[in-house]
Amino acid sequence: MKKRGRTILVTGAAGFIGSHLCEHFLGRGDRVIGIDNFITGRIENIDHLFKDSGFSFVRADVTNFLHVPGRLDAVLHFASPASPVDYARYPIPTLKVGALGTHKALGLAKAKGALFMLASTSEVYGDPQVNPQPETYWGNVNPIGPRGVYDEAKRFAEAMAMAYQRYHRMQVRIVRIFNTFGPRMRKRDGRAVPNFITQALRGTPITVFGKGRQTRSLCYISDLVDGISRLVDSNADSPVNIGNPHEVTMLELAQTIRRLAGSRSKIVHRPLPVDDPQVRRPDISVARKLLSWKPKVSLEDGLKSTIAYFKA
Ligand code: UDP
């Protein structure tokens, strides 16, 4: 896809990742049309974008038919509740936006002759029996557990995106996003990073689930956005992992956040959620090779910026 003056539609534009993507593409001189229904997105995330004449916004649920007048060069489908707490709270909207919303967004891209990008997830690998996870791993997902609403919707979405690519010969990109953090996450989205930072800053107990031996690999938002932008501009026609391979246990994460926040919070243990993946780490060989991408921001630097955001 040519690199300047494109028109890009972003679903989930008022979300954490969506809002950073809108900002990125506007900064590159593209026009951006944002869509969000504000289930988990927030107007504060995009307020500052309205002063850019290249930005427009439609409040809508992408589960329903989307009419967008004029030309579109790309449709980036990022709408979905994305934290385990959110998709437990909104199980049916999560299934619908992953399944019906992906269908509608693909249909829109097809009608416009636009490139389609699906925001997929490391959750397609479930509780993985292979670590790190390469794109060729098929995963270990419980379809009927509490995470199934998200995991299976995203797996269905990948299947549908690939079918549109094969059958309708559309340009399709699939990004499998691993744990990402940074400014504009909601304090109460329930994920480890915002929970631990909020708790550390308030001096209340830091809640580590289980023994805290489970691992995650955390990518800073600016690195993720760079990877996604390169993927949009690439020819990669099958899924690509984007994430930071630096793997830490949740207990280490809690201790690091407590230290960086200068906090004296106690660390307390709470029951491990059902089907909580025990390990997670991206194999990023494909992104390195096809996109010449690798993350640049260290966990500590990213956490410092995020702590500063939560303080403010
Ligand atoms: N977690 C935790 N304490 C919290 C929130 C989460 O120990 O207050 C753990 C959770 O059990 C999981 C990990 O942190 O093992 C990452 O959870 P998160 O919700 O951030 O995202 P996930 O990777 O599970 O989608």
Q: What is the pLDDT of residues 219-241, one digit of tens each?
A: 999 999 999 999 999 999 999 99
Residue spans of beta strands (DSSP E) within 53-143: 55-59, 74-77, 115-121
Verify whether ligand 1 is closer than 6 Å to residue 216 (CB atom).
yes
Verify whether ligand 1 is closer than 6 Å to residue 115 (CB atom).
no
Identify the burial level of 296 via C-beta atoms within 10 angstroms of its C-beta, where 0-12 means exposed, 13-18 middle and 19 or more buried: exposed
Report d(CA 9, CA 80) in Å as an integer.
15
Contact 89, 65 (CB under 8 A): no
Report d(CA 128, CA 217) in Å as an integer.
14
Contact 94, 153 (CB under 8 A): yes
- pLDDT score for 292: 98
Reduced to 3 DSSP states, what percent helix, strand and coil does the chain have, rounded to the nearest 5? 40, 20, 40
The number of the ligand 1 atom at minimal distance from the alpha carbon of 147 is 25
Measured CA angle at 143 (ends 142, 144), to 5 deg: 95
- pLDDT score for 66: 81
Comparing 66 with 183, the larger pLDDT belongs to 183
Q: What is the pLDDT of residues 41-74, one digit of tens each?
A: 999 999 999 999 999 999 999 999 888 999 999 9
Tell me the average pLDDT across 36-42: 97
Instruction: Note the pTM of the prediction, 2 decimals.
Output: 0.97
Residues identified as active-site: 150
Tell me the average pLDDT across 150-160: 98
Verify whether ligand 1 is closer than 6 Å to residue 258 (CB atom).
no
Tell me how far the alpha carbon of residue 126 lies from the centroid of ligand 1, in angstroms.
14
Q: What is the pLDDT of residues 251-294, one digit of tens each?
A: 999 999 999 999 999 999 999 999 999 999 999 999 999 999 99
Q: What percent of the chain has pLDDT over 90?
A: 97
For residue 226 the two structure tokens come to: 């760079």
For residue 72 the two structure tokens come to: 């579109």
Residue nearest to atom 13 of ligand 1 (CA): 192
Tell me the average pLDDT across 29-38: 97
Tell me the average pLDDT across 186-202: 96
Contact 190, 83 (CB under 8 A): yes
Q: Please check the confidence at residue 3 and state whether its pLDDT lies above 90.
A: no
Q: Please check the confidence at residue 4 and state whether its pLDDT lies above 70.
A: no
- Could you tell me the residue ranges of all domains in the chain? 7-181+221-243+282-296
Verify whether ligand 1 is closer than 6 Å to residue 85 (CB atom).
no
When the pLDDT of each residue in the chain is averaged and rounded to a whole number, the result is: 97
The CATH architecture assigned to 7-181+221-243+282-296 reads 3-Layer(aba) Sandwich (3.40)
- pLDDT score for 2: 54
Q: Which residue has the tokens 């409040």?
A: 59
Residue nearest to atom 19 of ligand 1 (CA): 191
Verify whether ligand 1 is closer than 6 Å to residue 32 (CB atom).
no
